[in-house]
Amino acid sequence: MKAIRIPILVTTATGALAFSTRNVGLSRPNSSVTGSFFQKKHAFSLPNKRLIPRNDRGGGVNSLNMIFGNLFGSGGMFDTKKSIDYTALDHPGPELATAAEEGKVLIESSKDPSLRLATFAGGCFWGFELAYQRVPGVVHTATGYTQGDEAEPTYQEVCAEGTGHTEAIMVYYDPKECTYESLLDTFFERVDPTTINGQGRDYGKHYRTGVYVHTAEQLAVAKPRFEQEQTKLGCKIASELKKTKPFWPAEKYHQQYLEKGGRLGEPQSAEKGSTDTIDAMVEESNEMFYI
């Protein structure tokens, strides 16, 4: 079987458009293929993603606005960007948004100076946030976007990989109850640090993983831990270890997504110390894929 790598336009689990590439085997299926499409079992696998044009769930227009805007300038039928209303977010959303708007990286909470902040990226932020919600000593969490240069990025823009951001979470923790080392424990328990630009079934630069430090003290803890993990694995770690950039909160529906029930309306435990399996999967699509 020969394989080629082709560019495709996909929708993510929440409907946003994104460019990707996939290896496609050039083999003749046993059953006949009719027309310009074939069943999923004869095609390449796209877990939790679907090719357009079928049943775009609403995020596509904003992504097309960004794509066409970059090519032809703003305006036109796709110029429909919807900004995030940061004032409607629960704490710590508004605090983080204000800091990002001012180009600042917070070290401690302005509302509660006893709480320290830490930023991590571990692929899709839904399950990753829930893992940190369960850590004793973690008081608040927020999903969002970091390590990019565009202001006020939306989910659709980040998924289109035009802003440079990665999906991430912000952790507010009490250093008297929770050490930065224990937060790194959670990171390495949840993340395969050898995977480049992705995690699990999710791939793309906006799913790259990393530890983004706020202070020299955090770096002093994280750097030797990365070296230790690399020695243990015997190969180079792909996860980033960098100074954090401003953190832009994600849309409200992304916040504490799995605790609130996710798409299937089945809440998952955020109780401290919970060891319940975290299931961030959404329903599979059995529809036809057009190529």
Q: Which residues of the chain form beta strands (DSSP E)?
A: 2-11, 17-26, 37-38, 50-51, 116-121, 138-146, 166-173, 198-199, 202-203, 210-213, 240-243, 248-249, 289-290
Considering 124, 159, 178, 235, which one is annotated as catalytic? 124
Q: Treating both helix axes as pointing N-terminal to C-terminal, what angle do 125-133 and 180-190 enclose, rounded to 10 degrees?
A: 140
- Residue 155 and residue 250 in contact, taking contact as beta carbons nearer than 8 Å: yes
End-to-end CA distance of the chain: 19
- Residue 27 and residue 1 in contact, taking contact as beta carbons nearer than 8 Å: yes
Coil, strand or helix at 166: strand
Which residue in the block uniquely carries the two structure tokens 């390495």?
188
- Asked about 124 being catalytic, the answer comes back as yes
d(CA 76, CA 272): 49
Neighbours of 85 (CB within 10 A): 12
> What residues are annotated to the active site?
124
